[in-house]
Amino acid sequence: MRNLLIALIIASLCVPALGSRGFTREATLEISRGAISTQSHVNKFGQNTAVAGGSTEEIWDGSAVYVFPATALMTSMSQTTDQVAMRGATIELQGLDASWNAVTQTKALDASDTTTVITLDTAMIRCFRMKVLADVVGDSQIRCHNAGETQDYAIIDTGNNQTLMAIYTVPNGKTAYLTCYYAHHHPASGVSPTSLPIRFWASDRDNSYAKQIKHVVGMAAERGFQHFFNPYVEFTQKTDVYITVAPISAQPVNISAGFDLILVDN
């Protein structure tokens, strides 16, 4: 009888939860559905189309070394070239405010000239996603930058209508769990790097730590990979997590990469 009871308990733990219609649901699906109030998910995906050979760059639309500011310098946005169809279009910006709290805000590009600098309602210390909320495709870059337009922090590249950033910062009051990450090399004629080290980094700003390597893969040219973590890797609040590549090549390489996180309220 005791053995039977133990078997029944184990079996009950292995059966997925049933939905209202009797279908089984995975825990990750419940998180995506918003059914678990204390948890949410983050899917970050990015691309750097021109990582300079012999350099180390983050995977984002800027195709350059990314700059993480120490204060809320992300105050403005504009488009590189005036686009009549984009005038007055709404842009969504996702990031963190000066206190590292999650903030999503919308702001319209100038109605007369999209190159006119628009001041955001909330200055941000991080901006890790931008989207065009309009039925028009951008024909030049839309950028989140500082007041003087001397530093870009998020870029919607031509034709994409959304940023491509394998960069994220854990909001204040949250803990993130890294489930997997991936990368892929987009080969081009005449470009054949001998090595493509892909590195996953974390910078704990809450404790003022220097960046720390969390995983590295020596990806072969013209190939990709996906790595799953079991158990998941934990990152505390105010931690920047991001992917870099350092191609050993004389020519620039095109790399896409991304990662998945589960956010849990502290």
> Of 125, 156, 187, which closes a domain?
156
Whether residue 56 is found in the same domain as residue 171: yes
Whether residue 190 is found in the same domain as residue 256: yes
The reply to whether 144 falls in a domain is yes
What does the DSSP 8-state code read for residue 256? E
The reply to whether 19 falls in a domain is no
Which domain range does residue 151 map to? 74-156
Q: Give the pLDDT mean for 143-150.
A: 97
CATH number, domain of 56, equals 2.60.120
CA distance 211 to 67: 13
pLDDT digits (tens, 9 = 90+) for 154-212: 999 999 999 999 999 999 999 999 999 999 998 887 777 778 899 999 999 999 999 99
Whether residue 205 is found in the same domain as residue 79: no
Task: Count up the domains in the chain and report the number.
Answer: 2
The reply to whether 173 falls in a domain is yes
pLDDT over 80 (residue 220): no
Buried b (16+ CB within 10 A) or exposed e, 42-70: bebbbbbeebbeeeebbbbbbbeebeeee
What does the mean pLDDT of the chain come to?
Answer: 90
Whether residue 225 is found in the same domain as residue 98: no
Residue 137: both structure tokens together: 């495709």
The reply to whether 187 falls in a domain is yes
The reply to whether 10 falls in a domain is no
Whether residue 177 is found in the same domain as residue 126: no
Q: What is the pLDDT of residue 18?
A: 42
